[in-house]
Structure 1
């Protein structure tokens, strides 16, 4: 069995919880803790903003020279002996980019500053730009992860085509992102299995926990051949969050899988993050239960909210109004859905079996 690699996304995906407003000191402590845990890769933020750039977004939405230098030092000084990634280097740093937000010069600058891995968001409507970004990052000397986002909104044939093209452009890794948190283990196993037959590069999986299936889906991804698994400290991430780092390591311990991660260090880091970043310990947003059940993106939620003036004026008033609106949106979309979307179809409802007669039920 191939070794698993953990890639932690707290400073990037977790930024959706706190407007990316991590202090440099807190980010240093987080990277130190992740390196001491033995985590292989740490995603430290976006270059030039998330998909929608906002002025209120903080440090980890726009990684700068001083930030990168501080985290490189934290990663190298804190790596646990014997737990470093393949090749013997300290914990490696990654930056995520949206292709339309960065230039070739930006990528070469990130390489010069010591970034090891670029993660490129891939979507069908910007595929050419994404493939060009992959090629540019490789030309700059960095490894590249091609991240297919909102995978559950795409036909499997489209996902496979995007993966093949990304590999041809130079991607070293194809990562599937369950951005809507709508996948179940059967979906993950089938999609990762199909991709393993279609590309030669390693596969990764990025879970969201809308249906409390992040761990189950990561297990399914690994069983189907994924070698890279995304995690976050305490599961801190957009909406319902991501796979809980310590929980995943605990699972690996429970099944006796050979690994080099330190569960105690991961739990100590979880405790630190819960104290220092209040948003790290927010409860599971109820609205995300529906986005997972109905495969709806955060854009769909925003549109529903914008269509309800009373909700905009008083966000705390009658949340059930928005729940009902999302259900109606789902029913409308479901009736229009094309075949081939990368989800296992719900099973038909099973009617209750007729009650057996008393004589049939009695033991012979």
Structure 2
């Protein structure tokens, strides 16, 4: 390197294919599927491979979906397949517990994300403390972040950092953002904290890669992406596209692109019936600001109650529903059906 040359800016890639992708297949990935993708991701040099039920540790339930495997079975399978990559897990207080965290770290989880609704960071304090005590890397993340202003998100992320989070950030859980939305939010968060900032995108409006680039340019240091965009609805930021774009832009990820493409092929062939697409319902979910994981239950409920899923998504968006409130889908659908009957 010449005296005037600058090192390429670095970005840490976090891969939740085996966690967020679970939403797309009703949390039914089996051991062979987990093992195949984890081994391919490890060979590509992906820094962090996250695994678990789509809603995180302790979330397997009748309400939001029973997973094919238990948390310990999933973690053990992936841990055995990783030789270089660190293993990540995700937990939202209320679904998971301190005992779930202790079990996950004992089974080899290196990075633990504690998640909260975008205005409720205070619920993470105890669990972030547990993660730090256990010696794992603690991240604090805010879900459905489009529901809060940049100033609110900055304040909430500062709280997460004060509770011990070693990285903090936001999830565009509904795929609602445009790049300018991301820029204002990440800029505010970076100014408020002294730890790395995370961005996790969804692709409902086709903006996930552009939003991820906007996040990096605004100062984020950790970006999430899944193979082939594997995830609920229109899917997540497509990992192999993201890494290729970052390479063109001069960022360094430490990931072998050719092997990453091979890992994406493994995901396509072994994990998903078909790659996610931006269909009409996914697009409306993003416009309405509704969690992407609601797509399947919204379609089923709309069909059962005889209402338009587009109307149902917009009605759910007006009520600002969040993950965990799946029971409201039926309630709102019945209200729409009753209103339609009265209007006849």
* Structure 1 residues 55 and 20: alpha-carbon distance in aligned structure 2, compared to 1, 3 A threshold: closer
1:225 is the counterpart of 2:205 = no
* Structure 1 residues 162 and 228: alpha-carbon distance in aligned structure 2, compared to 1, 3 A threshold: same
| Pairing partner for 2:36 from 20, 29, 33 | 29
1:56 is the counterpart of 2:66 = yes
Q: What SS class does the counterpart of residue 226 from structure 1 fall into?
A: coil
Residue 333 of structure 2: aligned partner: none
For the 8 Å contact 1:17–1:280, the answer to whether it is kept is no
1:323 is the counterpart of 2:330 = no
Paired residues for 1:177-216 under 5 Å:
177-216=171-210
* Structure 1 residues 271 and 299: alpha-carbon distance in aligned structure 2, compared to 1, 3 A threshold: closer
Q: Which ranges of structure 2 fall in alignment gaps of 5 or more residues?
A: 1-7, 321-344
Paired residues for 1:99-138 under 5 Å:
99-123=93-117, 127-138=121-132
Q: CA deviation at 1:323?
A: 2.1
Q: Distance in 2 between matches of 1:137 and 1:52?
A: 27
| Pairing partner for 1:7 from 4, 14, 19 | 14
Paired residues for 1:249-260 under 5 Å:
249-260=243-254
Q: Distance in 1 between matches of 2:31 and 2:250?
A: 36
TM-score normalised over the length of structure 2: 0.82
Residue 145 of structure 1: aligned partner: 139
Residue 354 of structure 1: aligned partner: none
| Deviations, residues 187-231 of structure 1 (Å, cap 9, x unaligned) | 111111111110001001000000100000000001111111101
For the 8 Å contact 2:230–2:272, the answer to whether it is kept is no
Pairs aligned (count): 310
Q: Distance in 1 between matches of 2:62 and 2:150?
A: 26
For the 8 Å contact 1:108–1:140, the answer to whether it is kept is yes
| Deviations, residues 122-178 of structure 1 (Å, cap 9, x unaligned) | 126754332211111111111111110000012333212211111011001112100
Q: What SS class does the counterpart of residue 273 from structure 2 fall into?
A: helix
For the 8 Å contact 1:207–1:242, the answer to whether it is kept is yes
For the 8 Å contact 2:110–2:137, the answer to whether it is kept is yes
1:266 is the counterpart of 2:273 = no
| Pairing partner for 2:77 from 61, 64, 70 | 70
Q: What SS class does the counterpart of residue 222 from structure 1 fall into?
A: helix
Residue 336 of structure 2: aligned partner: none
Residue 341 of structure 2: aligned partner: none
1:245 is the counterpart of 2:239 = yes
* Structure 1 residues 204 and 36: alpha-carbon distance in aligned structure 2, compared to 1, 3 A threshold: same
**What is the root-mean-square deviation in Å for CA atoms of aligned residues?**
2.7
Residue 312 of structure 1: aligned partner: 304
Comparing 244-253 and 206-215, the one that deviates more = 244-253
Q: Distance in 1 between matches of 2:110 and 2:255?
A: 21
For the 8 Å contact 1:181–1:211, the answer to whether it is kept is yes
For the 8 Å contact 1:99–1:130, the answer to whether it is kept is yes
Q: CA deviation at 1:304?
A: 6.9
* Structure 1 residues 138 and 209: alpha-carbon distance in aligned structure 2, compared to 1, 3 A threshold: same
Q: What SS class does the counterpart of residue 246 from structure 1 fall into?
A: helix
TM-score normalised over the length of structure 1: 0.77
Residue 285 of structure 1: aligned partner: 279
